[in-house]
Amino acid sequence: MKLKTIALAAAFSVATCLGTFAASHGNKAKIGMITTLSGGGAGLGIDVRDGFLLAVKKFGEGHVEVVVEDDQRKPDIAVQLADKMIQSEKADILTGIIWSNLAMAVVPATTAQGKFYLSPNAGPSALAGKGCHQNYFNVAWQNDNLHEAAGAYANDAGFKKSFILAPNYPAGKDALTGYKRFFEGEVADEVYTQLGQKDYAAEIAQIRASSADSVFFFLPGGMGIAFMKQYAGSGVDIPLIGPAFSFDQGILQAVGEAAMGVKNTSQWNKDIDNAANNDFVASFQAEYGRLPSLYASQGYDTANLIISALKKAAVSDADAFRAALKAAEFDSVRGDFKFGSNHHPVQDIYVREVIKEGDVYTNKIIATGLTNHSDAYAGDCKM
């Protein structure tokens, strides 16, 4: 299974070098994907890329050509790649960026040059409110959304006092703000950790000493793995709530038993029952030999949105193409999908619980956190 993944990854790298997923008829577009394929955050970029290329392979025949490049999670490299994609590759649409700080470096410059940018992940508040742009679409979520749903769920679950925890950087502050925007109880304590911190003994001691009845944490990637393992080993049994970023399919196996039963919020899960999602989960597993993560679902939706718009309008006719994107007439794996006035999704956000299926840790939906949820910044967007 692992060998197959490696072989596929290798095949895609070769394809990347050749730069061709060629097309022959209909409206065509060249898509530049800049995403993180090496370094600590590579798992996320690989999932977005694999989801995207799966949709291209299944539905994009003759419509799109994709060029994939690795930004190494560095803003300066992402900016260079964006220039290269636009100027020498002549890409019509850019996509792929995982991290909000990279998105802030690339998106405004891209849209200012009249190109389209579709975000499969990062949704910084600055691009949802005053900085919104008619050519910028976010297909995933606005950064605050999943945290807001976690706050709403904490109310539903009857929690009165939360200990809240996030890294000290813009997305971490957005996370705690988002949680507090919806949580009606009291905040026992608010702790900012260092970005990339791996030892949480000091924070767990504070949680133990607090009188909280719930812990909300936003610690993406390796930080979340470290926190959950240490939390489970500490003997503290205050229930945890978090956004899906610490519970995606890629990292759950590394956390293992320590994640069992934790509630987390997500706009997607593999058990959402619709034809598009069932088809996506089955074909992703067949293609890559692993279960898809929410990042893969976001990449898949992004590609399908582009393909649906290309079937209606040519990307050279920017107004018609933009209207086709805005209409979002594609079969989203999330079920109903529509854009709000600021080109960010208006969608349901679910509460999931970590379970074990056979030997594999995964999630199942147990409730809906927020229904038809937009974001707090849409009002500031003048488009």
Contacts with another protein, residue ranges (CB under 8 A): 2, 5-6, 37-40, 42-43, 46, 168, 173, 190-194, 196, 198-199, 201-203, 205-206, 208-209, 222, 225-226, 229-230, 232-235, 250-251, 253-258
* Minimum CB–partner distance for residue 174 and another protein (Å): 13
**Tokens matching residue 95:** 């996509």
Which residue lies nearer to another protein by CB, 75 or 108?
A: 75
Which residue lies nearer to another protein by CB, 290 or 334?
A: 290
Bridge partner residues of 349 (DSSP): 370
* Minimum CB–partner distance for residue 337 and another protein (Å): 28
Which residue lies nearer to another protein by CB, 129 or 172?
A: 172
* Minimum CB–partner distance for residue 87 and another protein (Å): 28
* Minimum CB–partner distance for residue 312 and another protein (Å): 36
* Minimum CB–partner distance for residue 46 and another protein (Å): 6
Measured CA to CA, the distance from residue 251 to residue 225 in angstroms comes to: 7
23: exposed, middle or buried (Cβ count in 10 Å: 0-12, 13-18, 19+): middle
Which residue lies nearer to another protein by CB, 177 or 278?
A: 177
SS3 sequence of 124-187: CHHHHCCCCCCCEEECCCCCCHHHHHHHHHHHHCCCCEEEEEEECCHHHHHHHHHHHHHCCCEE
* Minimum CB–partner distance for residue 39 and another protein (Å): 6
- Amino acid found at 43: G
**Residues 256/231, Cβ–Cβ less than 8 Å:** no
**Tokens matching residue 16:** 């990347």
**Tokens matching residue 253:** 């196996």
Which residue lies nearer to another protein by CB, 118 or 215?
A: 215
DSSP 8-state assignment for residue 24: -
Which residue lies nearer to another protein by CB, 135 or 193?
A: 193
Buried-exposed string 295-312: b where 16+ CB fall within 10 A, e elsewhere: bbbbbbbbbbbbbbbbee
